[in-house]
Every structure is written in structure tokens, then in C-alpha cells.
Structure 1
């Protein structure tokens, strides 16, 4: 659990939407965030699927906490695909 903890800041300026996630360097959560970013940049089909899932869930969940919980099954499956991609490509966090 400690390896996955993060700090989150959502901006308070309604005209400037900001979401900042801060993780400890070298932690499992740090690795996941970098892997997920790079995987989506290199796999447009996965990126589009993630965007579609986010839109679908936002339409059916009014509360942010419900939306976050509802994304978990997608992330669990995506984690496996992203790790497989990392293995195939030799990806390393940077």
C-alpha cells in the first residue's frame, strides 16, 4: 500500500483545470504512472479505449468517488496489457 500512495491536487481555478499526482520516486505507483503514460502515447488504440471508458463512466457516475471506483476493473486489465507492452519493448521508467 505504501508503494502505491500518492498525493493529489485538483486546481481550484474553474478556468484552469489541473490535476497533479505526486508519487515517491522509485515506488510501484511511480513506475505505474510512467508506464501508463508511455504505453498510452505509443498505443493509440489503448489510448482511445481509455478515453471512451472515461466518457462512458462520467456519463453514469455523478460522484467522483463512484467514477474512480468504476474505473478500477479497466485499470486492472490495462495493467496486464501495459506490462506486456513494457516487456515486449524493453520499456524502462525515465
Structure 2
């Protein structure tokens, strides 16, 4: 997977004291959905994180809901596919003071 970030994101990451966590969520229900979320890190990363740089951590989460409804509870499952189901790239930007992310196949 290629992880790329803009010059604005690079500047924002350079001044961080704690790592930024980028969570890539892959959800499979009636249709596939991918979401990029951002979280502040105030503690040491867990074993589920991939350290990209000193100030950037990546976490990939796969969710499979119990039913095909928007409010169905979902469980987190390990990615057991022979070839892991992950996007080819994740893009990170900093726009008007907010983190913005996208991913693609």
C-alpha cells in the first residue's frame, strides 16, 4: 500500500509532538464501504498500528455487520483473505485546519 500526503500535511505532521493515527476502515455489508478517520494519539501505539513515520500511524480495520442495515452492530474481524483486502493507496491532506483522507483501489 502506498501512503502519500500533501505538503500541507507534511508541515502539520512535522510540528506534532504525538503521532496522528490514521484509521482506514473497510466495512462489508450490503455494499463495501471505506472510510478514513483521524485520531490524536496520547499514548503508545497498540500492536494493531503500523508506524509510517514518527508522527504518523496507520491502522486498518475490517468490519462485517451482523445484518444489512445502517444501524446494525458490527464486529471487527481479522483480515483473513489469502491476499489482504486493502486499498492500493491512502492519501492524507490538511485543509483549513482539518485532516482529510481518501483511499483508492
Between Structure 1 and Structure 2, which shows a larger proportion of strand residues? Answer: 2
* TM-score, normalisation: structure 1: 0.27
Between Structure 1 and Structure 2, which shows a larger proportion of helix residues? Answer: 1
Of structures 1 and 2, the one with the larger relative CO (CA 8 A, separation 6+) is: 2
* TM-score, normalisation: structure 2: 0.25
